Amino acid sequence: MKILAIGDTVGEPGRKIIQSLVPQMRDKEGIDFVVANGENIAGGSGLTPQTSQELLRSGVDCIMSGDHIWDKREILEIIDHEKRILRPLNYPQGVPGRGAALLTSRKGVTVGVMNVIGRVFMRESFDSPFAAAEKAAKELREETPIILVDIHAEATSEKIALGWYLDGKVSAIFGTHTHVQTADERILPKGTAYLTDVGMTGSYDSVLGRNVSQVLERFLTQMPKRFEVADGNVQMHGAIFEIDEKTGRALSVTRVQRKI
């Protein structure tokens, strides 16, 4: 089966290009399952019930997130009962929502998905993503051999280390958060596909999806500044993972960079 993982989606430009491209890719390229990191889909920070539904109606099967999951408080209205929206698995116990789920692909195949967040250079303190991911992988594997992991982290070393730690335990692990696609896609020795960062979906005439002049002003003056979402040169970046449905082993991983 083919799985499309879409990088950090920023604001309305990111949502619109997904609405345009994902249905086409599902039909023309035989994409069976789609995940997207959506923690920045609502005005560039956070997500809401309305913006989440826009992505889900566009053909996205699961929305991952990260440290901006709570930036829009409205998400608390649905996160407990909408299992297609994940917050990082390694938040402390008692936090609303879930970090892993079993979902169904277009062909009726069960897919295990999980979202973990790194600890290196991140603002908050989290439980170990290594322990949390290993435990969840073991539980998900009781139901399906096909397991995807979004590691939302700053440090490339932490992402790579988690890739090696989960090799053979999951089908694919891909990074988000830095908004810059890396070129290190590979299949690890025990059959897990890996990519350090799948990139960003939004304006590339920007600084990580935000207005260039506003970000420059912040860097030059160190004064607080609200960053608006940029809208020029919109692209969708991600990766396509081909997975053996019987074994859960990765067959290939291909980076994606698309414009409308």
Reported as a single tens digit per residue, the pLDDT across 190-243 is 999 999 999 999 999 999 999 999 999 999 999 988 899 999 999 999 999 999
Residue 179 is a catalytic residue: no
Q: What is the pLDDT of residue 9?
A: 98
How confident is the model over 39-76, as pLDDT tens digits?
999 999 999 999 999 999 999 999 999 999 999 999 99
Average pLDDT over residues 154-183: 98
- How deeply is 224 buried, as exposed, middle or buried, from its count of CB atoms within 10 A (0-12, 13-18, 19+)? exposed
Q: What is the pTM of this model?
A: 0.96
State the residue range of the domain holding 40.
Answer: 2-259
User: What are the helix (H) ranges across the chain?
Assistant: 11-29, 49-57, 129-141, 156-166, 212-221
Average pLDDT over residues 141-163: 98
Average confidence score pLDDT of the chain? 96
Which of 127, 189, 198 has its CA nearest to residue 164?
Answer: 189
Beta strands per DSSP E along 28-109: 33-37, 62-64, 100-104
Average pLDDT over residues 3-15: 97
Percentage with pLDDT > 90 across the chain: 96
Q: What is the pLDDT of residue 123?
A: 78
CATH number, domain of 197, equals 3.60.21.10
For 14, list phi and psi in degrees, rounded to 5. Answer: -65, -40
Selected catalytic residue, list 68, 152, 179, 237: 68
pLDDT band for position 105 (50/70/90)? very high
Q: What is the pLDDT of residue 135?
A: 98
Q: What is the pLDDT of residue 226?
A: 87
Number of compact structural domains in the chain: 1
d(CA 247, CA 10): 34
Q: What is the pLDDT of residue 62?
A: 98
Q: What is the pLDDT of residue 36?
A: 98
